[in-house]
Structure 1
Amino acid sequence: MTYRFEFNPYQRQFRHPLTTHHGIWKVREGIILRLMDEAGRIGWGEIAPLPWFGSETLEQARQFCQQFPSQFTSTDIFSIPAELPACQFGFESAWDVLVARDGRKSRIETENTSQSLSHASLKYSYLLPTGEAALTAWQQGWQQGDRTFKWKIGVTSMESELRWFDQLVQALPPSAQLRLDANGGLTQNQAEQWLQVADQAGIVEFMEQPLPPEEFDVIKAMQDQYKTAIALDESVATLNQLKTCYQQGWRGIFVIKAAIAGSPTQLRQFCQAHDIDVVFSSVFERAIARIAVLNLAVELSHPHRAVGFGVNHWFVED
């Protein structure tokens, strides 16, 4: 069967700029895909690059879409190179929807009712603003039912962040869990200080990517020195990186941003074959990619860990 497609870029405004160790992010940009089969059925997909995490740039994705054949087969979709992981995810997810609508065996659920039922089993980690604003912002997430919160560190002075952390720990209810995300922005000494403080606090579920990916061996050694778990994020941004870290002995938590990881089929196969501790996380994609990732999360994520998708409050409504 042959397919046709159209693509359109989009921009989505953050309500407030998102500050991380990688910088300040004001607008999420991406590409919406519309695939059509010979019977006129439509499958929607989304390309949501995150180049500072290791994916292609938006411009590279746009150029690929412009060069992609106007009529193509599934072989063309599964031949997209690994150097374009967000494109792999977007095209394959859209094709997967078409497979379902054609009545063939699907790997994802596509009906809204099925999505609602399956996603209802997921718990969400609520992303807090950086800095002092987190001390009150958690209340909104708590009121809507979230019990896991994520706070980015390594953004301003460590002295200030440690002070705010202590206040946040005192403010959060005893049943809450907190994730600390450094985005690879700490030194080894800072990471060790944070892990010591986290061990004492007893509320930290894990620390995410304390050091840059190139310091994998140091991170791996830290894993055995502290009670607080460590999760890899930037180190496992793509499927190839995920496989490499696993082959090098990582058996801790893997934070997977599926929308930039590459082929969802290959990702599924790897997770099923190795039974890894997975937390699926957002790249601030729109609803199309979000649904596709959450379908994977229902199937593959650790049952007792919240998914990193408590981010809708960061955007101006479309």
Structure 2
Amino acid sequence: MRLSIHIKPFSFRLIKRLKTSQGIIEEKKGWLIHLENALGKSGWGEVSSLSHSEIAISGNLLKSLGNKISHDELETNLPFWPESLAFGVGAALGELNGLIGIGSDADWLPAPRSAILLSNNQSVLKEIDILLNNLETNQHPLTLKWKIGLEATQKEEALLFQILERLPNNARLRLDANGGLDRIQSKQWAQHFLTEPQLEWLEQPLPADDLEGLAELAKNIPIALDESLLMQPSLRKSWQSWQVRRPTLEGDPRALLQELKKKASYKMISTTFETGIGLRWIHHLAALQQQGPTPTAPGFAPGWCPNSLLFSNNPHDVWEAA
């Protein structure tokens, strides 16, 4: 079957800079993909890597495909392409073939309530106060995510205690180091999980390749892997504790779709700041996770992206806004 393929670049700036132990994220660039078959049925995808070089490589590969390509050729190339490109094309094929979206067994599932990604500075306390004053927030358990490993440990620990003092008993706080701690620092942070029930997990405390140190920590407290899963994808099958799954960086999303349909446990679906086209998949996968044995708040980072049609759930609107 021959398919028409159209591509279009997109870019946007985050409302505020996101600082992690690995650097600063303030802008996203990528590619939108629109596949259409001879019957006029469409599939939409998005290439949304955090790597500028991967975006450039993916753009060159997409341009080399021309305007017409066979379905089989796309399927054959997928395993050899960068993961973010494989996500974009796999997502478009999945929709085109009726595995997801209109015409599938569940249509697009609505987004569940997200965890809140907090700011990285002293304004975090004011931010939490505003959240707690929101009546709607008080009607639902509040889940927060806070980046650590950016300042001296003693300073961040003091701020942690102030955060925990503010939170209601049913709130949960995730600490994310993005691989920025050493083993001594990680053990120091781990001690808090033994006495603070509001702490949900410690996310990627050690560098992605320190699997021995991560496994040792996981014997005593919940450790969620993120960057390690991207560096060593086989861990997605073997890591028994929490996994932060970022679909747009993992390759063809149809595998994760089937995994979640089979009620896989200990997965948390996370954004990498997508447009509305990618978000349809992120929201759907997160909704499936909620139906599994270990439901938990996904990470959509609400309030960090602009309010525009680029983030609409209508792919035609996204395409026109790009």
TM-score by length of 2: 0.85
- Given that residues 131 and 164 in structure 1 are in contact (C-alpha distance below 8 angstroms), is that contact kept between their aligned partners in structure 2? no
Q: Which of 241, 244, 248 is 1:259 aligned to? A: 248
Partner of 2:54: 57
Map residues 78-157 of structure 1 onto 2, 5 A cutoff: 78-79=75-76, 80-99=78-97, 106-110=98-102, 118-119=109-110, 122-142=112-132, 143=134, 144-145=136-137, 147-157=142-152
Q: CA RMSD in A?
A: 2.3
CA distance in 1, matches of 2:91, 2:184: 42
Cα deviation for residue 246 of structure 1 reads 4.8
Aligned to 1:67: 64
Alignment equivalent of 1:293, drawn from 265, 277, 282 = 282
Query: Among 228, 233, 236, which residue is 1:235 paired with?
Result: 228
Contact 1:31-1:48 within 8 A present in 2 as well: yes
* Aligned residue-pair number: 298
For the residue of structure 2 that corresponds to 1:138, the secondary structure is helix
Unaligned runs of 5+ in 1: 100-105
Letter paired with 1:160? K
Instruction: Kindly provide the CA deviation profile for residues 34-53 of structure 1, in whole angstroms up to 9, marking residues without a partner as x.
Output: 2121123332211101239x
2:266 maps to 1:277: yes
The answer to whether the 8 Å contact 1:84/1:262 transfers is: yes
Q: Which residue of 2 aligns with 1:245?
A: 235
Q: Hey, what's the Cα distance between the residues in 2 that align with 1:62 and 1:38?
A: 25
Partner of 1:6: 6
Inter-partner Cα distance in structure 2 for 1:75 and 1:234 = 32
Contact 2:46 2:278 in 1 (8 A): yes
CA contact (8 A) 1:182 1:210 kept: yes
Does residue 178 (structure 1) correspond to residue 173 (structure 2)? The answer is yes
Partner of 1:313: 303
Query: SS at the partner of 2:45?
Result: strand
Could you give the per-residue CA deviations for residues 7-47 of structure 1, whole angstroms, max 9, x where no partner exists?
11111111111101111111111111121211233322111
Distance in 2 (alpha carbons) for counterparts of 1:179 and 1:110: 35
Structure 1 partner of 2:320: none
- The alignment's TM-score, normalised by the length of structure 1, stands at 0.86
Amino acid at match of 1:109: G
SS in 1 for 2:30: strand
Tell me which residue corresponds to 1:209. Answer: 204
Q: Per-residue CA shift, 1:103-139, capped at 9, x if unaligned?
A: xxx221338xx767x325x231111111322212134
For the residues of structure 1 that align with 2:80 and 2:153, how far apart are their CA atoms? Answer: 37
Q: Is the 8 A contact 2:236 2:243 kept in 1?
A: no
Deviations 1:165-220 (A, max 9, x none): 11000011221100000000000000110110232222111011000111011101
1:75-98 per-position Cα deviation (integer Å, ceiling 9, x unaligned): 222222345111111112112222
Q: Secondary structure at 1:50's aligned position in 2?
A: coil
Q: Distance in 1 between matches of 2:281 and 2:182?
A: 35
CA apart distance, 1:65: 0.9
